[in-house]
A and B are shown apart, each in its own frame.
Chain A
Amino acid sequence: MFPKKGVRFDFWSFVSLLSLVVFGLFLIIPVGQMVVYAFQNADGGFTVENFIKFFSRPYYVRSMTNSIVVVLSATLLVIAIGVPLAYITSTFQIKGRRLMDILIIISMLSPPFLGAYSWILMLGRNGAITTFLRDSMGIRIPSIYGFGGILLVFVLKLYPYIYMYTKGALKKVDASLGEAAESLGYHGIRKVLNVSLPLVMPTILAGATIVFLRAFADYGTPRLIGEGYNTLPVIIYQEWVSETGTNAYFASAVALIMMVIAALVFLAQKWISSRRSTTMSMLNPPKPKQLRGLPNVLAHVYVYLIVLLSTLPQIYIIIISFRNTKGLMWADGYGFGNYVTTFTRSLSSIINTFQYAIIAILIIVVLGTLFAYLTVRKKNLVSRFLDVFIMFPYVIPGTIFGLILLMTFNRPPLILSGTAAIIIVSYVIRRMPYTVRSSAAILRQISPSIDEASASLGYGAMSTFFNVTMPVMAAGILSGAILSWITIINELSSTLMLYTGKTQTMTVTIFQEISRGGYGTAAALSTILTVTMIVSLLLFFKLTNSEDIDL
C-alpha cells in the first residue's frame, strides 16, 4: 500500500505479526509438542515404541478399525439418506418445507452426545420405549449399545450436512440443463443419475468429508452409547486420564495417528474436487414442481419421517426435563423440579458457558475479520501461512486439541491449565477458521476501491478498516458469529479435557450428570441449551433475512 521499497511498519504489519503470534503460540507450538511427545519415552529419549505399542496390541488396533468402520458406514448411510432428501425438497413442492429446514438445522447444530443420551433414554436398557414394549407386549428389541447405536446417532446427527450441501448445489444447477437432458431423451431417474448427480458430486464429496471428520472426532457419542465399542477419541481420553497415571507420550502418538488419518481424508477430498470443479452459468434457476398422487405422498412421508426421527431425541429430552425426579430416579408427575435443582446447583456452569462463549466470539470476530482481510487483500508470506493455518483446526479433533493445549500450557513459561483462558483459547483457535473463511468470502465480493477511497480521503489503514471495511462486512460477520456462537455453547470434547470444577460449562455438566445417572438435571440443562440455540438461530434468520445457512 505504501510506496516504499523497504517494509514499512503499519497497522497491517502489526496484524500479520499478531496472527503469527496467535497461531504460533496456540496452534503450531502445541501441535509440535504433540509430535515431539509421540516420539518420546518417559525419560525424554527418542523412540517409536509408542507406535509399536499401538500397532501390536489388538485392543488399540481394534479402536482404529472400529473408528474407521463406524465412521465410514455412517458417511455412506448419510449420503444415502441426505442426497435423496435434498433432491426431493429442491425438486418438488413439500408442505412445510421451511419448518423442515429449520428442524434439520437444529438437529445438525445440537451436540451429538445429546442425541446419544436421548436414544439411550428411549431405547436403552431401561429406556421408555424398551420398557413399554417389554412390559406391555413382551417384545424385546435389540440392544442399542455398541456399533448400531453409534451409527444411529451419527447418521441422524450428520445427514443434515450432506442435505444442506447438496441442496445448496442443486439450487445452483440451471434448470435448462435438466430440460436439455429431457429433450435428448433422458428422463426420470436416468436424468438424475446422468445430469444432476454428476454436477453436484464434488459438493457431495465435500459434505461427506465434513461428515467423516465430524464423526471421526466425536468423543461423546461412542463414550456414552458405545459401551466397549471403543473408538480413537475414547482411547486417547482414557490414556490421558487413566488411573495408572497419565501417559502423555502414548496419548500423543495415538493423537498423531488420528490426525494423520484425518489429514489424509481432508487432502484427498481437496485433491479430487480441485480436479473436478465445474462452473455453470445461472440464467434459469430451478423451481420446485408440484407432485401428484402416490409419488407426492411418498415424497412427503420420506421427508417427514427423517425429520421426525432426527428431531425426536431433542423433543424427548425437552419433555422429560419436566418430569419429576427423586434423587437419581424418575418419579411420577411433571413440574419444574429439575429446573429448580439445575439453577441452584449448576448455575455457575450456565454462567461460565455464556461468559466464555461471549468472550471467545468477540475475539473471534475481531481477529477473524482482520485475518480474513490479510488473506484476501494482503498477499504476502504471512497471509500464505495463514491460509494453511486455518485449515489445521478442520483436521484436529476437539479431544486432541484440548489434550495438546493442556500438555503445552501446564508448565512454565506459560501456565494456563485450569484457567478459563485455556478454554477460551481452544474455542477461539478451533472456531476462528470458520469466521476467517466466511469473512474472506464476503471480502472477495467487496471492491477494494472502497478501502482506497477511504485512504484517499485521509484515513489510515486502521481507521479505514474499522470505519468502512468492517461495517460493510457487518451482516456477514454477524451471521458467521451466530453460527460460531451456537457451536461454541455446544462444544464438549475439548472442554472436557480442559475444565476444572470452577470452569465447568453446561455441556460438561450435562455429560457428567448423564455419566452419574442424574438424567433429570441433564435433561433440564440440555433443554436450556436447545432453547438458547433455537433463539440464536431465529435471530440469525431474522438478521440475515435468509432461509438457509451457508456452510
Chain B
Amino acid sequence: MAVSINIQNVKKQYDDNVVIRDLSAHIQSGELFTLLGPSGCGKTTLLRMIAGFNSIEAGTISFDDRVINNIPVYQRNFGMVFQNYAIFPNMTVYRNIEYGLKNKKLSKQEIAQRVEAIMETVQIAPYKDRYPEKLSGGQQQRVALARAIVVQPQVLLMDEPLSNLDAKLRLEMREAIRQIQKDVGITTVYVTHDQEEALAISDRIAVMNRGDIQQIDEPEHIYQRPYNTFVADFIGHSNHFAGEVRGVEGSLTHIVLENGHPIAMPGLMPLKQGDRVQVFVRPEEFTFASKEQGMEGKVLVKLFLGRYINYRIDFGGPQAAEVTVDATTVDRIHDAGDSVYLTVNTRRANVFHPDTGVTLVEGVVSNVP
C-alpha cells in the first residue's frame, strides 16, 4: 500500500517570486520523512505541491512510478493533517471520520467497521457523537489524524500538526503519531519548524533553507554530523570558534583556536598548515578539566536547571560560549566570576570551511540528490 515519493527538480514560483528553484528528494516507502526549516524556507510550499494545492512550475513529483503533477487533488489518494486540523465544524466526530469513506464504493457495514476501528486506534471512540467545538485541541488532532488515515491513503501529509497544542500535549501527541504511523506503515511527510519535534519523530529529516534542502539524514546524524553551518546552527546550539590548522599528524589534525587553545581533531579531510577553519562545539561537548589541559574561561552566568547546569563562559572570543553539564556528574557548581578550564570533546565537535560553510569532517555528505 505504501509508496515511495520521488521529487525531481521541482520548481515553485508565485508571479516573479521563486520560492523553490530546483529541489529533489527521494522519500522511501513507509518512512516518516520530516521537512524541517525556519518559517519561509519553503517546507509547507513543498508539502502542498505534493498534495496538489500548489501547482508545480517545473520538474515532477511521483508516487512510485506514477507522475502526479497533473492528477487533481481529489484523485491523488493521500491523507492530510492540517495545522489548524480543519475538522468540519458541521459534522460530529464520527461523521468527520466517515466522510472520506462515504466517497468510496464501500458497504455501510465496512464503513462502520473501519470508522470504529480507527477511533479505537486514535482513542477518540468515547467522543464520536460530539461536535468539534466541544473537543480539546488534542482530541481534534486525533480526529484529524483518524480522518486522514481511515481512507488508507498511499501517503500521509502532516503540516505542523502539533504547533497549536500546549507543550505537554505536544509530547503526548508526537508519541501517538509516531506509534500510529509505524503501526499503519504509511509513507508520511511531516512538516515542522520545531527541531526537537523533528528529531524525536522522524526516520529521516530534510533540513531546508530558502527553498533548498541542506541535508537529508537520520536525526542523530543530522544532529551530530551536520553537513554545513546552517544545519549545525538550526539544529541545537553550537558555539563557534575560528581556528587555524597547525599541522597534520596521522589521522589527527592540529588546530589552534582563536583564543590560543590547541585541539587535535580526528577524521578530518586533508588540510594544509595555515588553512583557516571554523570549529563548532555544542554546549554538551565541553568537559571541565585541569588547568594544564583545558582552555581558560570565566563564568559569566550560571543557570541551575535541576538535571543540567548551564553556564555562559567567556573564552576571550567575540562571543561568550554556552556550556551544559549534567548536574549529576559534577562535584562542584561554579558561580559567576569563577575561572574555569574546559576541554573540547574532539570526537564530537565539527569543523567547517570558513567560506563555504561546508563540513570538513571526512565521510559526512548532504544526501541531497
Q: A interface vs B, CB < 8 Å?
A: 1-5, 8, 10, 447, 449-450, 452-460, 463-464, 467-468, 471-472, 474
How far in angstroms is the closest Cβ of chain A from B4?
Answer: 19
Pick the residue among B57, B78, B87 that contacts A456 (CB under 8 A): B78
Shortest Cβ gap from A112 to chain B (Å): 39
**A2 B82 Cβ-Cβ under 8 A:** no
**Interface bits B85-126 vs A (CB < 8 Å: 1, else 0):** 011111000000001100110000000000000000000000
Residues B70 and A453 in contact, CB atoms below 8 Å apart: no
Q: Would B72 and A460 count as touching, CB distance under 8 A? A: yes
Nearest CB of B to A159, in Å? 38
Contact of A453 among B55, B76, B82 (CB under 8 A): B82
Selected from A3, A10, A449, A471, the residue in CB contact (under 8 A) with B83 is A449
Contact yes or no, B90 A474, CB < 8 A: yes
Given contacts A452-B80, A458-B77, list 11 more A-B pairs with CB under 8 A. Answer: A1-B53, A2-B73, A3-B56, A3-B69, A4-B69, A449-B84, A456-B76, A457-B151, A458-B75, A458-B103, A460-B74
- Can you list 23 A-B pairs, Cβ within 8 angstroms, ordered by A? A2-B70, A3-B54, A3-B55, A4-B70, A8-B72, A447-B84, A449-B83, A450-B87, A452-B86, A453-B86, A454-B99, A455-B52, A455-B74, A456-B73, A456-B76, A456-B79, A456-B80, A456-B148, A459-B74, A463-B103, A464-B74, A467-B99, A472-B89
Does chain A have a CB within 8 A of B51?
yes
Among B51, B57, B99, B147, the residue within 8 A (CB) of A452 is B51
Q: Please tell me if the beta carbons of A453 and B88 are within 8 angstroms of each other in the complex.
A: yes
Residues of B within 8 A of A450 (CB): 86-89
**With A455-B74, A458-B103 given, is the CB distance from A472 to B90 under 8 Å?**
yes
- Pairwise interchain contact A453-B80, C-beta atoms closer than 8 A: yes
Interface residues of chain B, those whose CB is within 8 Å of chain A, are 49, 51-57, 69-80, 82-84, 86-90, 99-100, 103-104, 144, 147-148, 151, 157
Distance of B367 from chain A, by nearest CB (Å): 27
Chain A's nearest CB lies how many Å from the CB of B364? 35
Min CB–CB distance A3 → chain B (angstroms): 5
A457-B82 CB under 8 A given contacts A2-B72, A4-B55:
no
CB <8 Å contact, A468 and B51: no
Distance from B115 Cβ to chain A, minimum over Cβ atoms (Å): 13
A-B pairs under 8 A by CB, number: 90
Q: Which residues of B contact A452 (CB under 8 A)?
A: 51, 53, 73, 80, 82, 86
Q: How far is the CB of A220 from chain B (nearest CB, A)?
A: 42
Q: Per a CB cutoff under 8 Å, which of A3, A5, A449, A474 touches B82?
A: A449
Contact of A458 among B88, B90, B100 (CB under 8 A): B100
The 4 closest A-B pairs by CB, nearest first: A457-B100, A449-B86, A453-B86, A455-B73
Q: Once bound together, how far apart are the Cα atoms of A463 and B75, in whole Å?
A: 14
CB-CB under 8 A from B144, the residues of chain A are 453
Chain A residue contacts of B84, Cβ below 8 A = 447, 449
Query: From residue B159, how far is it (CB to closest CB) to chain A in Å?
Result: 8
Cα-based distance from A308 to B45 in the complex (angstroms): 60
Whether A458 touches B151, Cβ cut-off 8 Å, given contacts A2-B73, A452-B51, is yes
Taking a contact as CB atoms closer than 8 A, the residue among A5, A10, A447 that contacts B86 in the complex is A447
Chain B residue at minimum C-beta to C-beta distance from A457: B100
**Cα separation A1 to B55 with both chains bound (whole Å):** 7
B104 CB contact (under 8 Å) in A4, A5, A458, A460: A458
A contact residues around B70 at 8 Å (CB): 2-4
Among B52, B73, B75: residue with most chain A CB under 10 A: B73
Of A3, A471, A474, most B-chain CB atoms within 10 Å = A3
When chains A and B are docked, how far (Å) is the Cα of A450 from the Cα of B99?
12
**Residues of chain A contacted by B76 (CB below 8 angstroms):** 456
| CA of A457 to CA of B69, assembled, Å | 18
Contacts of A453 in B (CB 8 A): 80, 82, 86, 88, 144, 147
Chain A residues lying within 8 Å of B51, measured Cβ to Cβ, are 452, 456
Chain B residue numbers with a CB within 8 Å of A5 are: 55, 57
| Nearest-Cβ distance from residue B262 to partner chain A, whole angstroms | 56
* Closest chain A residue to B83, Cβ basis: A449
A2 touches B88 (CB 8 A): no
How far is B13's CA from A434's CA once the two chains are assembled, in angstroms? 36
Residues of B within 8 A of A455 (CB): 52-53, 73-74
Q: Judge whether B74 and A458 touch: CB under 8 Å.
A: yes
From the candidates B49, B53, B103, name the one contacting A459 in the complex (CB within 8 A). Answer: B103
A447 to B82, CA, bound (A): 10
Residues of B within 8 A of A468 (CB): 88, 90
Of B49, B70, B72, B100, most A-chain CB atoms within 10 Å: B72
Q: Specify which chain B residues have a CB less than 8 angstroms from the CB of A458 in the assembled complex.
A: 74-75, 77, 100, 103-104, 151
Residues of A within 8 A of B104 (CB): 458
List of B residues within 8 angstroms of A454 by Cβ: 88, 99
A388 to chain B, nearest CB (A): 22
Closest residue of chain B to A472 (Cβ to Cβ) is B90
CB distance from A286 to the nearest CB of B (A): 27
Q: A1-B73, A452-B51, A456-B80 are in contact. Are A471 and B86 (CB under 8 A)?
A: no
